[in-house]
Amino acid sequence: MAVRTPGTTATLVVSPRGQITLPKPLRARLRLVPGSVLLLREEAGQIVLHPAAVTPVSLYGDEEIERLLGADRVAPRERAVLRRRWGLKAPMRRRRTRG
């Protein structure tokens, strides 16, 4: 026996381009706006849609990266204090080779 979750039922028509229109009350209830992303899953011959969580991604240019790196600088003494506080090992020191 199939388990059905309560909700509304609507008849949707697939356009010649393969598109469907979600009813306005449903879009409002789920807070879907133009550009919202949905995940589609086929499950036992049924189509299941889920709103997707989308995280915006920013692209940074070289100048912005340099600015962020400069703002993130920590003095060596302060870095050592933080490493001790967090229980981190000090980085390995490179040995100079004689050549």
User: Tens of pLDDT along 31-63?
Assistant: 899 999 999 999 999 999 988 887 777 788 888
Instruction: Return the pLDDT at 1.
Output: 45
Residue 50 sits at φ, ψ, to 5 deg, of -130, 135
Q: What is the pLDDT of residues 68-89, one digit of tens each?
A: 877 778 888 888 888 888 888 8
Instruction: Return the pLDDT at 5.
Output: 57
Say how far residue 65 (Cα) sits from the centre of its chain. 21
Q: Which residue has the higher pLDDT, 20 or 54?
A: 20
Residue entry with tokens 């598109």: 19
pTM over the 0.75 mark: no
